[in-house]
Amino acid sequence: MMQDRGHLMTEGRNERSMSIDLMSIEEGFDVMNTEDATIPTAVARAKNEIVEAIKLVVTAFKNGGRLIYVGAGTSGRLGVVDASECPPTFLSDPEMVQGIIAGGREAMFRSIEAAEDSPENGARAMDERKVGPRDVVFGIATGGTTPFVHGAITRARQLGAKTVFFACVPQKQCGDDADVSIRVLVGPEVITGSTRLKAGTATKLVLNSVTTLAMVQIGKVYQNLMVDMNSSACNKLVDRATRIIMKITGTDRPTAAKLLQDACGRVKTAIVMHFRKVDRETAERLLNEHDGKVRAVMATAAAD
C-alpha cells in the first residue's frame, strides 16, 4: 500500500508562496530569497549533531576508513558532488569520500525516481562497497522516508560501520536507526515538495561542513589555505599553489614556483622544504612523522 507522506514537513504548503503564480518575477524572487535566508539558522540549530558526525568522519579517516554518502535524486547528487570535489581540493584519495546515488551513474543526469523505493538495493550497495567497521555511511533523505537510504543505513550498521542520517523533517515524523541523526528543519518549500530548494541548499551546507572540517582536522589545511591540493591539474591550480607558497613563505613568485617544482607539485612539501632547509625526501618524511600537519612540523622547527 502506498505510504501517505502528506504529514511530512517537507510536503507542507508554504503560506508565504501561496500566490507565487500571480506574482511578478521580482516579487517571486523576494519570496524565494527570504525563505533561503532562513536556512543557515536551521543548520546552526543542528550544530551538535553535525559536530558529532564530523568527529565520526575524522576518526574514520585517521583509521584508514571512508565516508560514503548514500542518497536518491537531489540528495544523492549532492553527495556525489561533494565526494567528487574532495580530491581536487584536498588531494584526497578518490576512495576516501564516495557518493552512492540510487539508480547509479545514469541517475546523476536523468531522474530515475523508482530507484529510491528499494531498501534491498541500498543494502546491496553497502555489500558491493565492502563497507566495514572503519567506515562512516552518511544517509541523505531530506524527506526522511527514502527506502534505498534506510536499507543502506541498516546494512551498514550490520557490517559494523558508523552511520549518520540527514533529513529535513523531525524525528517524530520519520525516525531512523543511525548513530547520529541530523535534522535540519527548513520548513515547507516555496514550491510544495520540491526539496531541491531549501532542503537541497541545507544539504549542501551540511556536507560542505562535514568534509571541509574533517579534512582540516587531518592536516589538509594550513591556516585557511589549501596546502594539500592537486596543483598539476590545470594552470589555475598551479597559479593558486604558487601564490599559497608565496603567502606562507614570503618569497617572490619565481622562488615559490621553483619550490613547487622541486616539491613535485606538493604545496605542503614545498613549505617544509623552505622553512626546514631540507630536500623533498626529508620534507615528506617530516610530514609523515607529524600526520601530514604543517603546523606540527613548523612547531618542531621552532623548538630546535
Active site residue 113: no
Q: Is 289 assigned a catalytic role?
A: no
Task: Pick the catalytic residue from 27, 49, 106, 116.
Answer: 116
- Give the active site residue among 11, 15, 49, 85: 85
DSSP letters of the chain? -----TTSGGGS--GGGTTGGGS-HHHHHHHHHHHHTTHHHHHHHTHHHHHHHHHHHHHHHHTT--EEEEESHHHHHHHHHHHHHHHHHH---TTTEEEEETT-THHHHS--GGGGG-HHHHHHHHHHTT--TT-EEEEE-TTS--HHHHHHHHHHHHTT-EEEEEESS-TTTS----SEEEE----S-SSTT-TTTHHHHHHHHHHHHHHHHHHHHTTSEETTEE-S--TTS-HHHHHHHHHHHHHHH---HHHHHHHHHHTTT-HHHHHHHHHHT--HHHHHHHHHHTTT-HHHHHHHHHH-
User: Which residues are catalytic, by number?
Assistant: 85, 116
